[in-house]
Chains A and B, each alone.
Chain A
Amino acid sequence: MDITSPAFKSNVKRALADKQLQRAMGNVKVGFVKKRSAARDKLPEFDQLRDQARDIKDHTLEYLDLYYEIYEQKVREAGGKVHWAATAEDARDIILKICQAHDAKTVTKGKSMIAEEIALNEHLEAAGITPVETDLGEYIIQLRNEPPSHIIGPAIHLNRDQVEASFRRAHDHLPDERSLDEVSELVDEARQVLRQKYIDADVGITGANYLVAETGTSIIVTNEGNGDLTQSLPKVHIVCTSLEKLVPTLEDVSTILRVLARSATGQEFSTYTTLSTGARREGDPDGPEEYHVVILDNGRSDMLGTEFQDMLRCIRCGACMNHCPVYHSVGGHAYGWVYPGPMGSVLTPTLIGVDKAGHLPNASTFCGRCEAVCPMHIPLPKMMRHWREREFEHHLTPRTVRTSLGIWAFLARRPALYHLASSVFIRALKLLAFGRSRLKSVPLAGGWTRHRDLPMPEGRTFQEMWRAGGHE
């Protein structure tokens, strides 16, 4: 998919002018927030579970190589195969080769952000294979040829009318009089169309929320059950996932699952939690004949041992974006790639380069709401600041910002000079105001005065007045 992160500012302008998007975002900031808060309040040990979940992931990342040795062996024992993909290109090629080895014409897909990250659909289509998204949100955006705008609600930027229009355009069998007024009717329509696709598919591709070392199991969490049909009906099941999804034991998974759904949708538990271990064994009533796990690195192992390691704890619940006032303002597409919101602002520069994604970690007020709700205690604002530090070190910070910061810092490091400069500065500003108490435009302060007035100073600094020995 095209990367538009460098054009973040023009993406923002478009998003803010999009009335329909603004209405949709208005629902996100109310609904998700209330539901998470209610779910948290009903579970007294929620914060203890967060601590435990963090510790499980920290421990796993510390011993990742050892746990992967166990995991790979267990997958092999269960009749599956693990494939290691250093880059997105490697992962695409591995998956394509498996599909081609089975002469696949169509593949069904459960929701996978890793498949988005490696742009798998485009790659399969270019090779003449038709991918069919089976998660309702993913199915909708596939019809519309759009990227996801949220990691758990890919079509959250759309309203019902837009979905109906997309269905009527794509499903040409639909009679005009057939009602699609209710959301449930839209769901029924998608279900009917998808049913045959599950049966026809040669390969099923899913993501994984977790990989379990002790059993070699992959786990997906869904609300629609589409993942189950995707992975159990075709002859081949490919799990498309990434390095940081591993946990040691099933017990560990159960701990993390208790914070996942509550943080994401406010559910106590997602509707379906599906465990897959290997291929069909003799006597099994169903299941795929082949089971492959493609594990993507794509720069993640380089984060180990750095100030960005904590990001690898992320369980993709979406709570950070659900609570982010910047995400609420602009929606997910403005971020310009696969991962939006605070987690995207930390992860995207790692994956596509801070030179392209530099706006993302800068477009934050550091309000801290994301960190406050993150079930894995990821210090997102701190890591966005680390990206700003890397930019500053590598001279990627815009020149105007560097210059004005340089002048300011020169003064701020010299108190006597600073106090003098402050006095001169506010007197100048006061003169400029000609007695007005606020200004509608100020030279060099267009960023402020474009949308707000600038209140004028009183005329003397506090330091001056204090040194002069009194208030009046």
Chain B
Amino acid sequence: MPEAAPRVGLFVTCLVDTFRPGVGWAAVKLLRDAGCDVDVPRGQTCCGQPAYNTGDRADTKAIAEQTIAAFEGFDYVVAPSGSCAGMLIKHYPQLFDDGSAMRAKAEALSARTHELVSFLVDVLGVDAVDTQFDGTVTYHDSCSGLRELGIKDQPRKLLGSVSGLTMEEMAETEVCCGFGGTFCVKYPDISNNMVGNKTANIGATGADTLLAGDLGCLMNMAGKLKREGSAVQVRHVAEVLAGATDEPAIGEAK
């Protein structure tokens, strides 16, 4: 008797929901291809980082409680973002007092939550995708995914299985791109210096496409590349892995 398909709740993330829904569809396709039963609970909004990182603990807790409730009953919760997944996994439990009922619920959610690509590789054992992408890509390691969740090899492993794709690593790929959520608008000049270093490193690879696993970082780097007049195309890694590259890249015209 075949095992029941794992029930996955997709945590869409607020940026994918509003700015690039195609990443959500790419995530759904990848999860379904791997045998998951996917649903998107309506009770979710944002992971709460804008409030959390501004020091607004009360709103953060309220949003966390709402997210925890929205995803009850799923076997797994998966987000196409290391930063938002990191918030659910590493930070939600710390919002609640040790020993409290909410703490237990937050820890249970934490244990079931994963970033998309690491979920495919580490939990579902996916080691290849059946798709094609003709081009040379470079990959930026977003900070939370890399340092909070240890995401480094998983996207490279799956990208390595995409036929036609060549990987060119950039210098300082583990250094922050300068997005930092509200940081990039609170301290735009520092952020600009950081993203300027990043786009120089991207340009030096000669890659025609930049990939990463977090839409915030991607919009920051795409915005800077386009301002600089660069031809580099910017996409979420899920789009390439799902073969969903017919739509224009981030910030590009149809």
Contact = CB atoms under 8 A, between A and B. Distances in A.
Contacts of B35: none
A466 B55 CA distance: 33
Given A325-B176, A409-B51, A451 B195 contact: yes
B55 A419 contact: no
B194 A409 contact: no
Interface stretch (B57-65, B103-111, B125-133): B57-65
A448 B185 contact: yes
Contacts of A367: 143, 147, 175-176, 180
A452 interface: yes
B92 interface: no
A208 B251 CA distance: 55
Contacts of B56: 392, 405, 409
Interface in B1-48: 12, 14, 16-22, 24-25, 40, 42-46, 48
Given A438-B223, A452-B220, A362 B175 contact: no
A426 B19 contact: yes
A427 to B, nearest CB: 10
Contacts, number: 203
A391 interface: yes
Nearest to A412: B45
A451 B191 contact: yes
Given A366-B143, A413-B62, A425-B18, A438 B178 contact: no
A155 to B, nearest CB: 22
A455 B143 contact: no
Given A368-B148, A393-B55, A456-B251, A415 B43 contact: yes
B190 A330 contact: yes
A392 B254 CA distance: 43
B170 interface: no
Contact of B53 (A366, A372, A451, A463): A366
Interface in A404-429: 405, 408-409, 411-413, 415-416, 418-419, 422, 425-426
Interface string A437-472: 110100001111011111111101111011100010
B205 interface: no
Contacts of A425: 18
Contacts of B187: 9, 12, 362-363
B250 interface: yes
A445 B185 contact: yes
Given A368-B147, A455-B251, A457-B18, A329 B193 contact: yes
B226 interface: yes
A385 interface: yes
Contact of A453 (B21, B59, B223): B223
Contacts of A454: 219, 223
Contacts of B175: 325, 367, 369
B221 to A, nearest CB: 9
Contact of A397 (B16, B17, B55): B55
Contacts of A389: 55, 57
Given A325-B175, A392-B54, A368 B20 contact: no
Interface residues of B, number: 71
A412 B48 contact: yes
Contacts of A456: 251
A445 B223 CA distance: 13
A369 B57 contact: no
Given A451-B224, A455-B19, A325 B178 contact: yes
Contacts of A397: 54-55
B122 interface: no
Contact of B188 (A409, A447, A471): A447
Nearest to A414: B45
A401 interface: yes
A457 B190 contact: no
A365 B179 contact: yes
B44 A437 contact: no
A350 interface: no
Interface residues of A, number: 66
Contacts of B173: none
Contacts of A326: 190, 194
Contact of A422 (B18, B63, B176, B247): B18
Contacts of B72: none
Contacts of A408: 50-51
Contacts of A437: 248, 251-254
B52 A385 contact: yes
Contacts of A440: 227
B223 A365 contact: no
A445 to B, nearest CB: 7
Contact of B22 (A325, A368, A458, A467): A458
Contacts of B18: 422, 425-426, 457, 461
A186 interface: no
B25 A413 contact: no
B66 interface: yes
A59 interface: no
Nearest to B147: A368
A409 B63 CA distance: 8
Interface string A179-218: 0000000000000000000000000000000000000000
Contact of B42 (A369, A415, A422): A415
A368 B149 CA distance: 12
A13 interface: yes
Contacts of B185: 445, 447-448
Given A367-B180, A438-B223, 9 more contacts: A326-B194, A368-B148, A387-B55, A397-B54, A409-B63, A412-B46, A422-B17, A455-B251, A461-B21
24 contacts: A325-B175, A325-B197, A326-B190, A329-B190, A366-B143, A367-B143, A369-B175, A385-B55, A389-B55, A408-B51, A409-B56, A412-B48, A413-B66, A419-B45, A425-B18, A437-B252, A448-B185, A448-B188, A451-B192, A452-B224, A453-B223, A458-B20, A458-B22, A461-B21
* Top-5 shortest CB links A-B: A365-B180, A447-B185, A452-B223, A388-B55, A392-B55
